[in-house]
Amino acid sequence: MTEEAPARGASMDTGKIQSPSSQVLEQFDDAPSEEDMHTLRRVSGKINWAAYTIAFCELCERFSYYGSSILYTNFIQWPLPEGSNTGAGFEGQSGALGMGQRASTGLGLFNMFFAYVMPLLGAYIADAHLGRYKTIHVAIAISTIAHVILTAAAAPSVIVKSHSSFAAFIIGLLILCIGTGFFKANISPLLAEQNTDTRMRVEVRNGERVLVDPAVTNTRIFLYFYFAINIGSLTGQIAMVYVEKYVGFWLAFFLPTVLFLVSPIVLFFNRKRYILSPPTGSVLSKFFRMFGYVMRGKWTLNFAKLKREFSWDKARPSHVPLSERPPWMTYDDAWVDEVRRGLKACKVFLFLPLFHLAYNQMTNNLTSQAAVMELNGVPNDIIQNLNPISIIIMIPFMDHVLYPGLRKLGISFTPIKRMTLGFFFGALAMVAAAVMQYYIYKLSPCGNYAADPDCSGPAPINVWAQVVPYIFIGIAEIFTNVTSYEYAYSKAPVNMKSLVMSVNLFMSAFASAVGQAFTPLSGDPLLVWNYGVVAVLAFLGGVGFWFCFKKLDKEEDKWNTITKSEFQGKDFGSAARAEEAH
């Protein structure tokens, strides 16, 4: 909870910032006292209707992306069925290129890597030049082109020529990653911007004094944002898997575009209802200049000395006489605090690749694992929909039962606690997958080579046993992924929200790159080792995450209630200098 802190002049290296009690509480009649902050039950504010229309657009985009990417494993791994020119497997296994499990795993990881590197570029374009709204429209146009190319790669006249099909497929995959990255970097910040609750306040609801907390509102917004993500991915994956199985890959790559093209229509007709942040120029370059200014004369390999002498106070305009300020120092003191808070969020994200290593198993190796179990007519790549199904069920439970129940009990289930618990559920999912793989090898007629195309039959284990790892991964996502979106948005400076969100997303890309090192384990007879090693890494990641950031957990309120900067970017500096000169 918030503790009284020194005034703004205190060194930021100690983590001490001005308390909300000395700034905000005296300005509003409904502002909470220090006692209220500790004792009142925290509740959510109202979620604006405009936010739901943006969540619907995310649903459409996820239908498009997952409806296509779920096809990649079978398209790459398995050969074209005999006599087929569409790849449809009907009662057998759908396929196209026949490149094997290691190739499908490697390309699947590359797809996730590139899709989550692109948000860095998409965030820069939005924050500095186009704004989030226009950048999202650009992303939709790019993704539409990608779907056309993927459809061409799977066309009956092309799919029978594996080299031509593969070349077109890779081009479509790359372009779709660009569109996805541009979209992902900006859609969730645009959604969260519709939250008009910007300060804590006391209200009376049903005779009870409660504390309306913007952080709780953000938690609900991102929970239902993730709910929309999984509705889109679930419907896209189920529908396209059956289209792939009974019609062919060409139609399965084409149909997701139809729903996706509804997004720009929804955005256009609601544009006047949205709260939109304008582009602010190259704020990132200003940050690097600010950091260089603080570090001037302090560069050293002696990290203990650097930590002792480093202070963000040097970068505060109020500490620099007007005549000595560099031309680029056009921000205010509060922006320094916002930047430092954003950097703390980026440090938190550094652990996420260990979580994503576990999550990424779902989209490749677990899909391949299903193919060697008893499917009873169910397509192997439809089983992973157990994950979004579990999320769709669990999110309302979290929002209406678990989180409010914990708040009523006075338990502060803060972002750091939630993310830590997510690591452990991810580890449990991998333990379950390792145990299942062990019994597949034990019971398969082909022993440790259960995925051999010439194997006489599957292991006698019903594929629905995979419900255990998929549900655990779903719970882990709610605690870690959803919360990381919320954390990225709430801790970033207003004019760098897309950028900080893209840093969060980039951790998934980094995990995919690290996952390439596990590709040699992504095949028989080493898959038990694959799941086991990932389980250990996820568990150790959770332990390390908690011990590194438990101090931030105690300071959650303090960082959420720092003074909001008035620095917007473009033209702020000249206006501020002119005002100060007068």
Q: Is the pLDDT of residue 270 over 70?
A: yes
Residue 205 β-bridge partners? 208
pLDDT tens for each residue of 85-134: 888 888 888 888 988 878 888 888 888 889 989 998 998 898 888 889 99
Contact 193, 275 (CB under 8 A): yes
The torsion of the CA quartet 453, 457, 459, 460, rounded to 10 degrees, works out to 160
**What's residue 327's pLDDT?**
85
More confident of the two residues 136 and 16: 136
More confident of the two residues 93 and 306: 93
Q: How far is CA 378 from CA 90, 91, 206, 251, 464, in A?
A: 10, 9, 50, 19, 10
User: Distance between alpha carbon 85 and the CA centroid of its chain, in Å?
Assistant: 37
More confident of the two residues 564 and 98: 98
Nearest alpha carbon to residue 190 among 343, 28, 48, 400: 48
| CA distance linking residue 72 with residue 68, whole number of Å | 7
More confident of the two residues 105 and 194: 194
Q: How confident is the model at residue 166 (pLDDT cuts 50, 70, 90)?
A: very high
For 301-305, what is the mean pLDDT? 75
Contact 25, 32 (CB under 8 A): yes
Q: Is the pLDDT of residue 264 over 60?
A: yes
pLDDT tens for each residue of 572-582: 444 344 434 43
Max Cα-Cα span within the chain: 86
User: Range with the lowest mean pLDDT among 78-82, 219-223, 475-479, 493-497?
Assistant: 493-497
For 458-476, what is the mean pLDDT? 91
Q: Is the pLDDT of residue 153 over 50?
A: yes
State what percent of residues in the chain have pLDDT above 70: 92
Contact 451, 372 (CB under 8 A): yes
Indicate the DSSP class of residue 92: S
Give the CATH superfamily of 350-565. Answer: MFS general substrate transporter like domains (1.20.1250.20)
pLDDT tens for each residue of 431-445: 999 999 999 999 999
| CA distance linking residue 517 with residue 521, whole number of Å | 9
493-522 exposure pattern, b = at least 16 Cβ within 10 A, e = fewer: bbbbbbbbbbbbbbbbbbbbbbbeebbebb
Average pLDDT, the chain: 84
State the DSSP string of 113-165: HHHHHHHHHHHHHIIIII-HHHHHHHHHHHHHHHHHHHHHHTSHHHHTSHHHH
Q: Is the pLDDT of residue 426 over 90?
A: yes
Q: Is the pLDDT of residue 309 over 80?
A: no
Any idea which residue has 């229509």 for tokens? 265
What does the angle CA 43 – CA 46 – CA 48 come to, to the nearest 5 degrees?
150
**What's residue 12's pLDDT?**
36
**What's residue 570's pLDDT?**
60
Q: How confident is the model at residue 520 (pLDDT cuts 50, 70, 90)?
A: confident
The arrangement of secondary structure in 44-196+217-279, i.e. its CATH architecture, is Up-down Bundle (1.20)
The pTM for the full model equals 0.78
Q: Report domain extents, the chain.
A: 44-196+217-279, 281-331, 350-565
**What's residue 151's pLDDT?**
93
| CA distance linking residue 262 with residue 515, whole number of Å | 35
Encode 549-563 in three state secondary structure: HHHHHHCHHHHHCCC
* Same fold? 44-196+217-279, 350-565: yes
pLDDT tens for each residue of 226-253: 999 999 989 988 889 889 989 999 999 9
Any idea which residue has 């790159």 for tokens? 513
| CA distance linking residue 86 with residue 211, whole number of Å | 58
Indicate the DSSP class of residue 340: H
pLDDT tens for each residue of 46-84: 888 888 999 999 999 999 998 898 899 889 988 888 888
pLDDT tens for each residue of 311-355: 888 888 888 888 888 888 888 888 888 888 888 888 888 999 999
Q: Is the pLDDT of residue 183 over 80?
A: yes
